[in-house]
Amino acid sequence: MLRNKLCLLLALCLFVPSALAESPSIISNEMIQTETVNYSKTAVVEVGEYKRDYNATASEYYPNTYELAAEIDNASFLKYHVARSQQVKKGDILATFTIEVDEAATASAKLSLERAQEDYLSNSAKKREEISEMLREQSSIRDACEREVMTLRIRRAQVAYEQYCYQQECAIARMTEEAAELEEANSSCYLYAPYDGVITHVAYKREGEKIYANETLITMYREDGMLLRISNDQLYFRYGMPVSVTIGPKNNPEVFQGRVVAADNILPENRRLGHAFIQLDPFEGEAPRMNRMTATGTSEYLGNVMVIPRRAVTLDAGKNYVECLVNGNLQKHFINIGLSNMSNVWVLQGLDVGDTIILD
């Protein structure tokens, strides 16, 4: 019994001082404010810029590409004079063929021409002879009527002769032209470079192998008009947009300015290429080696708009709000957002310039 009382007394002696203790590590009632919140950073709503840039890897693109073919039938390949990646000048011989001359057709054409000419000469002579005979006959006619008729017949024969000469000369001219075309076709046995450029592809051909008309043998491109091609499925790069292009290694890049000259945003959906093309602005100095190219463009830019840090915005039940500090009190302001990116938000309505918002 006494022991129990002693234990109880001991417990009370320990408890009461604890209850009455005022340690500096314990928060006093005066310091407790149940309706307050702490924050560490604020920002003032200002007018600024909303911006978003995009990058894309670029590669060279040569739009002036040509597929060169023999354009003649009945040719056999002889040899190439160029190789892949070789520079060529306009007029350079690229390939040589041998023409399988259609001798029968050529001979036939020549023969027909000769015969036509011979027939013309002989028939002309005959007709002239006939006219001469008629003239002699006319001189022996006494009767006036018959003489008149003969004169008309002679005139008729002369007109018919002139018509015959005209028709035969036209026919011979046509045949001569056709023969000349055959000769010209038979003499074409070289493939020439139409422009200065670079050979990109040479079709494999064995000597003596037959070549068909319009069969592509050599592909080349012109170096002028080079563009940069970038992937643009998301349409971040638009027609007319200025861009900057860095070329070269990361530790020593060169920066060039350019512009998007072709992009899908202005084309119908069924014509879209999935790429955009950039033309570099004229620059001084030597052209750099076109490797490790990156194009950067500002896809979204708005100035003179209310912009706040994104981390100040909270989404609640489909509505965006920020917490504003007004006269020492926290107020929840719902806002209308125009656009947002990873770091900033463009506020359309709900805030005024100069408002203080809480970031953390």
Partner 1 sequence: MKKWICIWLFLALCAPCALAQEAPELLEPAGVQMNAVEAFIGDISSIAVHPASVVPYVEEFFFEQEGVIEEMHVIIGQQVKAGDPLITLDTESETERVQTLHRQLEELETNTAYEQELAEIDLAILNAELRQLNRKGDATAAALKELDIQQKKLDLELAADLRALEKEKLTGELERLETEIQKNVLYAPFDGRVAYMSSEWRHGDYVGAFTPLIYLADDSRLLVESDYISNTTLDFAHAVYAQVGSKQYAMTATPVDEKKYMAQVLAGVKLRRQFTFDEPTEELEAGQYAVICVESNYRPDALLVPTNTLYTADRTRYLYVMENGVRVRREVTVGVTTDWYTQIIEGLQEGELVYVKE
Please name the helix (run of DSSP H) or strand (run of DSSP E) that holds residue 134, with its range, or none: helix 103-139
DSSP letters spanning 193-241? -SSSEEEEEE----TT-EE-TT-EEEEEE-STT-EEEEE-TT--S-TT-
Q: How many residues are present in the chain? A: 360
SS3 122: helix
Subset of residues 145 to 204 that bind partner 1, contact rule: CB under 8 A = 145-146, 148-149, 152-153, 155-156, 159-160, 162-163, 166-167, 170
SS3 assignment, position 29: helix
CB of 265 to partner 1, least distance (A): 6
Q: Which of residues 263-302 bind partner 1 (CB under 8 A)?
A: 263, 265-269, 271, 273, 277, 279, 298-302
In the block, tokens 């940069």 appear at 228
Tokens 């709900």 correspond to 350
Number of residues that bind partner 1 (CB under 8 A): 89
C-beta closer to partner 1: residue 33 or 139: 33
Least CB distance from residue 5 to partner 1, whole Å?
11
**Angle (CA) 111 117 123, round 5°:** 130
Instruction: Pick the closer one to partner 1 by CB: 34 or 251.
Output: 34
Task: Figure out which of the listed residues 43, 105, 198, 262 binds partner 1, where binding follows CB under 8 A.
Answer: 262
The distance of closest approach from Cβ of residue 218 to partner 1 in the complex, given in angstroms and rounded to an integer, is: 13
In the complex, least distance from residue 104 CB atom to partner 1, rounded to whole angstroms: 24
Question: Which residues, 6+ apart, have CB-to-CB distance to 6 below 8 Å?
Answer: none
- Cβ nearer to partner 1, comparing 101 with 302: 302
Q: What is the DSSP string of 157-174?
A: HHHHHHHHHHHHHHHHHH
Regarding beta strands 344-349 and 329-340, do their DSSP bridges make them parallel or antiparallel, or are they unpaired? antiparallel
Site for partner 1 in 297-326 (CB under 8 A): 298-305, 319-320, 325
| Closest approach of partner 1 to the CB of residue 76, in Å | 21
**According to CB under 8 A, which residues from 49 to 68 bind partner 1?**
63-67
| 115 contributes a contact to partner 1 by CB under 8 A | no
The residue range among 80-88, 129-137, 232-240, 283-291 that interacts with partner 1, by the rule CB under 8 A, is: 232-240
SS3 of residue 278 by DSSP: strand
Token reading at 113: 């021409």
Both tokens assigned to 299 = 């896809």
Instruction: Tell me which amino acid residue 119 is.
Output: D
90 binds partner 1 (CB under 8 A): no
H/E stretch holding 252: none
| CA pair distance 159, 167, nearest whole angstrom | 12
Question: Residues 27, 83, 104, 342: which binds partner 1 (CB under 8 A)?
Answer: 27
- Using CB under 8 A, which of the segments 109-117, 141-149, 201-209, 249-257 binds partner 1? 141-149
Choose, by CB under 8 A, the member of 70, 88, 95, 260 that binds partner 1: 260
Interaction of residue 26 with partner 1, rule CB under 8 A: yes
